[in-house]
Amino acid sequence: MRIQFVCLPLLVLSAALLSAALLSKHVSIKSRYDKFKKQHIYKEMTANMCDEVMRERKINPIKTKKCKKINTFIKADEQTVRSICVSEGEPYGNMTKSRQGFDVVVCIRKTKKGIMRIPFACLLLFSATVLSQDARITLRYRKFIEQHVNGRMSENRCDSVIGSRRISKTNSNECKETNTFIQATTNHIKAICEQAGEPYGDMTKSLQPFPIIVCTLKNQQGRLPNCQYRGQARTRRIAIKCEQGFPVHFERDIIHFEN
């Protein structure tokens, strides 16, 4: 009987410690998840909302008032993003990558000396005059994604997607004659610049074919937002321009390889 009375408090103490540890872990994960949502999920995000949203959500590097250099917002609802961890993702090293593509908005800081002197006054501009080379490549990568990547694209969505993304001829509102969307994730396309591609002149071509949607303009001389397109689904190997491991240019709308 004495042993039972001695062990009972120990068992209770052990159970209490275990519960506290599990609770602490749960709180820690929830806290990190809440931070992830705040920094990276916003279904209604647009490119011209960077300044406003970054200030409103107080998104800055940890324990500092410096402006964060780059922040990416996923344009999807919370449940859709969470599903990547359950049924809509696949292993990617010690991470999980989505099976489908997502629309994203990448906010890039632009300052003269790298740090703003006014606390929290982050300038996040999508400009071709970003000062650092890495930022310029990031900007071109974002433009590439905006113009050519959509895992959920279909033949009958050309008008709506091109209109919402405001894809047009360079530096004008004239309708672009042809635009191709790659039906894949950004990670799959980025892999072409690494192990999933091979040299093709000064370009890199994919080792495997990709499903694509080719949008061809129907109303010539049209201007945004009244561009009308005919969509066609095809499967092709693609050729892209890579810089520092990132795709920054789609060589042409249709690349056909014999092999």
**How far apart are the C-alpha atoms of 159 and 227, rounded to whole Å?**
7
Alpha helices by DSSP H, the chain: 2-40, 50-56, 78-82, 133-148, 158-164, 186-190
For the question of residue 249 being annotated catalytic, the response is yes
For the question of residue 26 being annotated catalytic, the response is no
The widest CA-to-CA distance across the chain, in whole angstroms, is 95
The catalytically annotated residue of 40, 148, 188, 256 is 148
Beta bridge partners of 175: 168
Q: Which two tokens stand for residue 143?
A: 């433009």
**How far apart are the C-alpha atoms of 20 and 15, rounded to whole Å?**
9
Task: Decide: 241 and 249 in contact? Cβ < 8 Å.
Answer: yes
**How far apart are the C-alpha atoms of 46 and 145, rounded to whole Å?**
14
Q: Which residues, including other chains, have CB under 8 Å from residue 226's CB and lie 6 or more apart? A: 175, 219
Q: Which of 81, 75, 112, 115 is nearest to 99 (CA)?
A: 81
The catalytically annotated residue of 26, 188, 249, 256 is 249
Q: Which two tokens stand for residue 8?
A: 């009972």
**How far apart are the C-alpha atoms of 249 and 189, rounded to whole Å?**
12
Catalytic residue set? 148, 249
